């Protein structure tokens, strides 16, 4: 939105760097009231900073604090358990989550027309932004249950060449070469293994990326659990030189967001949404160059914020118990639209594709914020809980239990797009 002069109003999907453009955040419904009669609703709030003088502008915030008359995302449940509570597959919240997520996906993956120019090609209308982690794997698995059997589902997995990792491998190689031959022989005779110290992988830097490893593992699981579905794994490999070449464009797209963490996340979404890479439908076949025709991309955004999936959630619980965890979750949900949605949408739509966020369906979010905390997370594990499912992590436990019910397993996240430049930078550092 261009607010250089208050007697005009200009709207644009992208503002670029600098200038008078201001982001309209995805934290409320904004209303430009063009009639003379002022709206009379309990939820109206005039914007704090004047946007234009041509008509009054009102902000209707999403409400998770109380029963106001505006758009409601439910009343945030701040209750804490009186005693120990165990979260199992039989807990009712697992079934409710499956129901709400299924309804959300139905709205977002059905009745999508064939992309232009797809005559004669594979019938693929939906792709998944696919790190191989828990959130996106569950979306892919449940989309399979909804889409017709003849539709292919593309799994877009991005990996970056990270100079920091390459440099670290070179440093290990140099140290290994400097080891004295006799020293190495003495170590071997004493039974000590030098492999961990001296091994330098000859594999591609992309294949060693955490997201690529978890993505391939989840791809195999999907093929095993859903053998009648045609899955296409699209490996999007981005050399460091290509990342640098697109940097100014990505920085412009995410503006006014300007931290290194914003840029790191945006890189992954930007190149994944381009959808171009080498693809395979089976681990037994050679990959071929491929660009997905899908115009709809499913994103797992929101699962961590709703169900306590970040490390800081576990830290908050360890320090302050359930009150600290609830405080952290409330903060994440409140700022989700402001921190993520506008930035992510601009980066993805740059390629003419649309991101859809099943975990942010209004009914699902309403259920999640009203659900008791002990039916979403498993940080307060008991001995019997540990014995029953020792491999299930406590964060996002309700979603992990759903994944197990669907035949999938929880996996970690990491695309190595963060901290590519050698030096000391933090995620909150402003882009230079």
Instruction: Note the pLDDT of residue 234.
Output: 98
Instruction: Note the pLDDT of residue 59.
Output: 80
Does 420 have pLDDT greater than 80? no
Give the three-state DSSP class for 325. Answer: helix
The vertex-159 CA angle with 155 and 161, nearest 5°, equals 165
Does 390 have pLDDT greater than 70? no
pLDDT digits (tens, 9 = 90+) for 138-197: 999 999 999 999 999 999 999 999 887 767 666 666 666 565 555 555 556 565 554 444
Q: Bin 111: left if φ > 0, else alpha if -120 < ψ < 50, else beta.
A: left
* Parts of the chain belonging to CATH 3.40.50.620: 92-162+204-406
Helix (H) / strand (E) element for 45: namely strand 45-46
The span from the CA of 87 to the CA of 378, in Å, is: 6
Helices and strands counted in the chain (H then E): 15, 10
pLDDT digits (tens, 9 = 90+) for 107-148: 999 999 999 877 778 899 999 999 999 999 999 999 999 999
Starting from the edge strand earliest in sequence, which strands make up the sheet with 28-32, in order? 28-32, 57-61, 45-46
Up-side HSE of residue 353: CA atoms within 13 Å toward CB? 28
Residue 383, classified by CB atoms within 10 Å of its CB into exposed (0-12), middle (13-18) or buried (19+), is exposed
- Spatial contact of 139 and 298, defined as CB atoms under 8 Å apart: yes
199 — pLDDT class (breaks 50, 70, 90) = very low
- Spatial contact of 28 and 61, defined as CB atoms under 8 Å apart: yes
Give the three-state DSSP class for 264. Answer: helix
Averaged over 26-35, what is the pLDDT? 79
Q: Where are the extended beta strands (E) located within 264-311? A: 276-280, 288-291, 296-298
Instruction: Note the pLDDT of residue 177.
Output: 59
Q: Where are the extended beta strands (E) located within 239-295? A: 276-280, 288-291
| Averaged pLDDT score across all residues of the chain | 83
The span from the CA of 141 to the CA of 71, in Å, is: 31
- Spatial contact of 394 and 379, defined as CB atoms under 8 Å apart: yes
Instruction: Note the pLDDT of residue 36.
Output: 66
What is the DSSP pairing of strand 276-280 with strand 231-238? antiparallel
The span from the CA of 213 to the CA of 220, in Å, is: 11
Closest CA to 361 of 405, 413, 300, 295: 300
The span from the CA of 215 to the CA of 236, in Å, is: 12
Higher-pLDDT residue of 241 and 415 is 241
Closest CA to 290 of 124, 143, 113: 124
Instruction: Note the pLDDT of residue 285.
Output: 86
What is the DSSP pairing of strand 57-61 with strand 45-46? antiparallel
Name the architecture of domain 92-162+204-406. Answer: 3-Layer(aba) Sandwich (3.40)
């Amino acid at each position: 939105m261009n607010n250089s002069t208050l007697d005009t109003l200009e709207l644009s999907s992208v503002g670029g760097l600098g200038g008078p453009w201001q982001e309209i955040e995805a934290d409320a419904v904004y209303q430009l009231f063009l009639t003379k009669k002022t709206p009379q609703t309990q939820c109206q709030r005039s914007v704090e900073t004047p946007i234009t003088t041509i008509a009054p502008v009102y902000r209707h915030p999403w409400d998770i604090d109380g029963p106001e008359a505006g758009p409601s995302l439910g009343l945030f449940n701040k209750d804490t358990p009186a005693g120990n509570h165990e979260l199992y597959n039989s807990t009712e919240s697992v079934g409710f989550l499956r129901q709400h997520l299924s309804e959300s996906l139905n709205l977002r993956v059905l009745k999508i027309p064939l992309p232009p120019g797809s005559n004669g090609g594979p019938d693929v209308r939906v792709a998944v932004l696919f790190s191989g982690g828990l959130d996106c794997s569950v979306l892919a698995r449940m989309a399979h249950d909804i889409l017709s059997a003849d539709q292919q589902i593309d799994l877009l997995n991005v990996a970056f060449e990270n100079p920091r990792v390459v440099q670290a491998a070179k440093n290990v190689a140099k140290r290994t070469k400097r080891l004295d031959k006799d020293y190495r022989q003495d170590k071997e005779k004493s039974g000590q293994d030098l492999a961990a110290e001296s091994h330098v992988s000859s594999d591609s830097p992309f294949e060693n990326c955490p997201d690529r490893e978890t993505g391939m593992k989840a791809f195999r699981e999907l093929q095993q659990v859903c053998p009648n579905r045609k899955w296409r794994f699209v490996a999007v490999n981005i050399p460091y030189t290509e990342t640098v070449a697109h940097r100014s464009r990505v920085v412009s797209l995410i503006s006014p967001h300007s931290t290194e963490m914003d840029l790191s996340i945006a890189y992954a979404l930007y190149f994944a949404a381009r959808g171009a890479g080498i693809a395979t439908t089976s681990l037994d076949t050679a990959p071929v160059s491929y660009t997905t025709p899908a115009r709809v991309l499913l994103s797992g955004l929101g699962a961590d914020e709703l169900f306590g999936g970040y490390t800081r959630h576990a830290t908050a619980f360890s320090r302050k118990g359930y009150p600290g965890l609830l405080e952290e979750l409330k903060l994440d949900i409140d700022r989700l639209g402001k921190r993520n949605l506008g930035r992510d949408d601009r980066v993805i739509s740059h390629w003419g594709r649309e991101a859809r966020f099943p975990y942010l369906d209004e009914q699902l979010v309403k259920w999640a914020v009203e659900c008791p905390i002990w039916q979403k997370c498993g940080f307060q594990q008991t001995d019997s809980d540990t014995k029953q499912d020792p491999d299930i992590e406590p964060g996002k436990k309700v979603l992990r239990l759903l994944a197990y019910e669907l035949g999938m397993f929880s996996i970690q996240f990491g695309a190595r797009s963060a901290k590519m430049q050698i030096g000391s930078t933090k995620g909150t550092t402003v882009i230079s």
